[in-house]
Chains A and B, each alone.
Chain A
Amino acid sequence: MWPFSRKKQLELPDFWWSYVEHFKEKLPDGIQENTFVVLDTETTGFSLTRDRMLCIGALKLYNNNIVVKDSFEVYIEQDHYSSESAEIHGILKKSKRDRISELEALKQFLAYAKNHVLVGHHVMFDINMINAALKRNGLPKLKNKTLDTETLYIRTLLISAVVQRKERYTLDDLAKKFSISRKDRHTALGDAFITAIAFIRTIEKLKPKKLKDLLR
């Protein structure tokens, strides 16, 4: 078995190796010293096998600052298309946006994300979507640590047996709670921005001392 897998690894492209290289470095302990990559994807649907990513949006959060220029937004060329989801994200098949191939998008995303912690709302969906795309292109899975804003938000709520809590909190719920404008809902970068603000406000409530308090 071994020789095969090693051979397979050797075929991985350079950009993957430079991505892996970043993980040799340990993440800083303090929250404020860490860069968080807040991301969101727009997809043609919810199926990991059938559906495809149309757009990845991400931004970097460092010490409560977001540098606008250093944000990430790519639109991806896909053959699979679903007109139902187009009603939500408004990305048409023949839209005029510049689009790049899935592989190119992944390459750029890996170079952007490095070893930073990935933050998202229902983040596993986005991660799985990206992993599915990586797999299609013959690449291994993402290696980054992840944080889900829904889980974090639920941790801020008081635990009470009598007061009923909702089971799920959507990004809309959070935007409402934190009075964040929902104007850019359902554009990947817009949702990433809402998620970033919700993330900041949530960690302010949780007051973790170290990164590992969040990741637990």
Chain B
Amino acid sequence: MKNTISERIADFLKNYPPFNAMDSKQLDELSLEVVIIHKETNAIVFCENENPHEHFYVVNKGAVALSKEGSSQILDICDEGDVFGLRPLLANESYKLEAKAYEETILYAIPIKDFRPLALENKRIGNFLIESFASNTGNPYSIKHRGKLYGSNNQEDQFSTNKILDLQPIKYSTDLITCKEGTKIKTIANKMTKHNVSSILVEKNHMPVGIITDKDLRKKVATGLFPITGTAKTIMSSPIITYPKELTLAQSQMAMMKSNISHLVLTEDGTTDSRAVGILSKHDIMVAVGNNPAVLLRAIKRATDAKRLRSIRHGIMNLLRGYLDQNIPLGLVSKIISELNDASTKQVIQIALSKMDEAPPVKFTWLSMGSQGRGEQLLNTDQDNAIIFEDVPEEVLEKTRDYFLKLGERISKDLNTIGFEYCPADMMASSRSWCRSLSEWKEVTAHWIHNPGPEEILLSSIFFDYNVTFGDKALADELSHSIFDHANHYPQFFTHLASGALQNPSPSGFFRDFLVEQDGEHKDFFDLKLRALMPIIDAARVLILSHSIKSINNTAERYEKLAELEPNNKELYLACSYASKALLKFRTRQGLLHNDSGRYIALDKLNKEEKIKLKRTFKTVKEIQSLIEIRFQVKNLLR
């Protein structure tokens, strides 16, 4: 008896191998046996060396990371439709890798006892499983089993990380398509088309003797120079240029440039006298350099849907991890990552706009607020954003707003798809309070400034770090002018803003111990954001706004500017600039390590050096807090 859920599961599975090879009745029956499992981020599906489960898994939603226990390096990410945990199906052994939910994930667990007979009976299914188990060739992230395809090679050193990108070994295709010297050209062309490859290797006695590429077919056959009935030998490039398989990215680029070729044949020992193990094409190089900001940026600009952007963002996270490992200055890192984040948001907006039924009725501006606005959003944190649209006559105001609300909703949904969580307080352009016309925004911000209660201070502190991501900058500039006008006429506002900045609890206690959270979900964790980052960010904001400077949003840069404006406090400001970078880096490291926002830190997991570093920044936090307390006479307000 199938039911609505099992029908839906069958509907999903039939799109992915190996299930696409089953007939619908088998699939219906199998779907009924499925267990649906929900895993929250970082929940373990199975550990290394754990005894085999009775199920293997298909990712329905979300993603699962496979890694070696104790190493932060992710060997493979399984996305929607990917199958993993197959080991028990093929061999009665414990798992060799750890599988962990990379984000919130829904899994379909397929019982092995029901699946095995189908796999035995249906050759296509069996083959797929063996292949995907042995190589995972379709997956660019996958490096786990490549070494096994050609014997003795030690997989550990082939793709080890921590090296500078250019010197990293490059991934190439090991799925060789070959022919003999005597093979007919037409057969070759058919074979290449069938396997969708741009080159074919010509072998003689299992040794590579030549190569035929798309270019050869175009230049030599299509032009009529050689007949299509000819053999491989007549058109192949020979002798071939071979390289050893441990080629680095830089080496392979050089090799192609030097010989002006687009394919490299890799052999066991690098000479033509040993077996070919792989072919490296220009495309492989393109994919490898994908781990570089310029290429990622181009890929972002080319993306036509949110799903594609999502996978590019996996690349961005890898890049970030690499940068931190190589200790590249955080100022630079945050610039690059923010630029990429900004570009992703822009692209999301472009895509959303193109999907709207009509063009926007008037000009508008998309503001990123909070950490993204400050250019400090290294990890995927919450989205805070707003829309300003041009003033329109009263009678069409609501109609105009409806358009932008719809746009806002679409954008924020796509941003969610690519990894930015929804803002829990709904501070997003998809909500009415954050989608307003210019004069409405002027009114609202003026209201905040003139009635600075705790809520208003909180809202202005999020809002005033805005940055134009998309659209007409003039609208935002006009709003900034209006804000400073009001603030200068009502200097009390800064006092309130300063008191808001002092409200965050202190990072350390009387004995210079860390103050940890007393209760709730994060009991005994140290709240890095609230106790250390926020005070320093808030202080920077009130200080820079009191100098009427809107063009700088980044906290570290704000302090640098302040050091310039107030030479007598230069030392403290520079210390703050340093502390803000150090804290952000700390948070990012923690976040990458635990695949979360990095906000809460388990103190017992820190080593001595890290603790000392953290404490040093706290001293600076306290100093800047007393500076603003005195300067803005916050005490008067408290009395």
Contact = CB atoms under 8 A, between A and B. Distances in A.
A161 to B, nearest CB: 6
Chain A interface bracket (under 10, 10 to 19, 20 to 34, 35 or more): 20 to 34
A66 B35 CA distance: 5
B432 A164 contact: yes
A204 B3 contact: no
Nearest to A67: B35
Contact of B38 (A176, A184, A200): A200
B425 A160 contact: yes
Given A59-B5, A190-B5, A162 B459 contact: yes
Given A68-B6, A68-B31, A157 B104 contact: no
B33 A68 contact: yes
A57, A179, A193, A201 — most chain B CB neighbours (10 Å)? A179
B611 interface: no
B9 A197 contact: no
A157 B427 CA distance: 12
Interface in A139-193: 156-158, 160-165, 176-177, 179, 183-184, 187-190, 193
B85 to A, nearest CB: 15
Contact of A69 (B32, B39, B426): B32
A157 B5 contact: no
Contacts of B6: 68-69
Contacts of A197: 38, 106
A8 B504 CA distance: 64
B602 interface: no
The interface size bin for chain B is 35 or more
Interface in B9-62: 9, 31-40, 61
A162 B34 CA distance: 46
A207 interface: yes
Nearest to A187: B4
B154 to A, nearest CB: 39
Contacts, number: 83
A85 interface: no
Contacts of A34: none
Given A68-B33, A162-B456, A179-B416, A207 B521 contact: yes
B433 A163 contact: yes
A160 B455 contact: yes
A157 B521 CA distance: 16
Interface of B: 3-6, 8-9, 31-40, 61, 104, 106, 109, 413, 416-417, 422, 424-427, 431-433, 455-456, 459, 521
Interface of A: 57, 59, 64-69, 71, 73, 156-158, 160-165, 176-177, 179, 183-184, 187-190, 193, 197, 200-201, 204, 207
Given A59-B5, A164-B433, A197-B106, 5 more contacts: A65-B35, A66-B36, A156-B424, A164-B431, A189-B3
24 contacts: A59-B5, A64-B39, A65-B38, A65-B109, A66-B35, A68-B9, A68-B33, A68-B34, A68-B36, A69-B32, A71-B5, A158-B425, A160-B425, A162-B455, A163-B427, A164-B432, A164-B433, A179-B413, A183-B8, A184-B4, A193-B4, A193-B8, A197-B106, A204-B40
